[in-house]
Chain A
Amino acid sequence: MNKPSGEPSYPTPVPQDAAADESDEDFRLVALAQKGDMSAYDELVIRHRGKIYAMIRNMIKNDADAWDLSQDVFIKAWQALPRFEARARFSTWLYRISHNAVYDWARKRKMESAGELNDEIFDREKIDSSARTAPAFVESPDDALSNSELRVKIEAALAKLSVDHREAVILKDVQGLSYKEIADVMECSIGTVMSRLFYARQKLQTLLKDEYESR
């Protein structure tokens, strides 16, 4: 992998038809929701809750808090909806709110623990089991099967990255966002995104060397 540097002149990626149709439908629903149509907003929540929940869960590795934070994202999005100007995709805008929610969550946990803000707070073993929680749920047998050994290793490797690096790699390699969208979400330059991605992938490949080379 080549390490990117410098501020790029970024060619605008052409959206695929399906993504464009999805965005059009989002914008239509957003316009209705901005006029106070709650059922249109419900539809937006239903369309995007899976992506938001997955992104947050991959970031914080705490199912219950991810459940709560995802709801907060949609409540904050409703509050900010009048200011949404459709310059970006609705989903990108939601990722940005999620980014802030995750960082606020991390900051809050840091204050509660009165310790340093470091990556360990995202480690599953370090998470307080008595954290504010939604109804407890047990993973179904099917989910348990799909939660493969490799996934556990990847999650463990991700937990060793810094928050910024982890978010960059999750948004790019899991959520499939473009460089420009990631820069919008993380409020940084595209060059910074490329740099973070480069180092994050490099570290992950080192941590997952056995798995990665056996493929």
Chain B
Amino acid sequence: MNTNPDETRLALWLDDELTGTDLAEMDAWAATRPEQLTAREELRSFRNMMAANLPASEEPPFPDFFLSRVNQGIRDLQAAEAPAKPAAAVPFWKSWMMPLAACAGMVLAFGIGKRSNDAAGTLTAVPSVSPVVYTPEEGVDAEWFASTGAGANVIVLEGVAAIPDSTDFSETVYVPTVSESDRTATRETETSDSAKQ
């Protein structure tokens, strides 16, 4: 390199930004110019001093909290932007087709409902006003009387044999024992039994 470099090229060389052929040419040019080599060394020294005393990278305090704040900020941003998004354009055919389809659906549903109502009428018996009383024994008639005034329902059975006085209702009716109705009574019963013995 016989000619002097332009100032840009020189500045890049001084700041160690050149590489390859560019660097080799500039090094060859500066080899006979000690003042340029000194200037480059001074600049390197200055950069080293700056880099040694001011951190190029410094983890922010509370790095996890820092990251969560960034995430929260992004979520807030997305939440704020969401309502602002314009609604998607509805195609022309959809603008009149959708109400029409809705009306057709309503008519169809009404028609199906009506038909099913009519069909149900033919299949199920009309419920009787008074209930049917079932009697498993032949020759027994049952009548049901309801008195709304008295608030009572009475069933009268005709043809049932008289119930003898010796009938023990306790065998047909479930009556809970003392121990079943009161768990604390077990011990009392046992105690009273043992006392009898």
Contacts and interface: CB of A to CB of B under 8 A. Distances in A.
Interface string B1-35: 00000111111101101111010000000000000
A79 interface: yes
Contacts, number: 142
A211 B15 CA distance: 21
Contacts of B186: none
A51 B11 contact: no
A54 B11 CA distance: 26
Interface residues of A, number: 61
Contacts of B60: 49-50, 53, 66-67, 70
Contacts of B51: 173-174, 176
Given A45-B67, A173-B47, A194-B11, A54 B6 contact: no
A1 B42 contact: yes
A130 interface: no
B46 A53 contact: no
Interface string A55-98: 00110000100110011101100110000000000000000000
Interface stretch (B70-78, B127-135, B163-171): B70-78
B59 A49 contact: yes
Contacts of B88: none
A194 B43 CA distance: 14
Contacts of B50: 154, 169, 173-174
9 contacts: A10-B12, A50-B59, A53-B58, A148-B53, A154-B49, A173-B46, A174-B56, A179-B15, A179-B17
Given A50-B59, A194-B11, A208-B49, 10 more contacts: A1-B39, A2-B11, A6-B8, A8-B8, A11-B12, A51-B57, A70-B66, A72-B73, A135-B62, A137-B62
Interface of B: 6-12, 14-15, 17-20, 22, 39, 42-43, 45-47, 49-51, 53-63, 65-67, 69-71, 73-74, 77
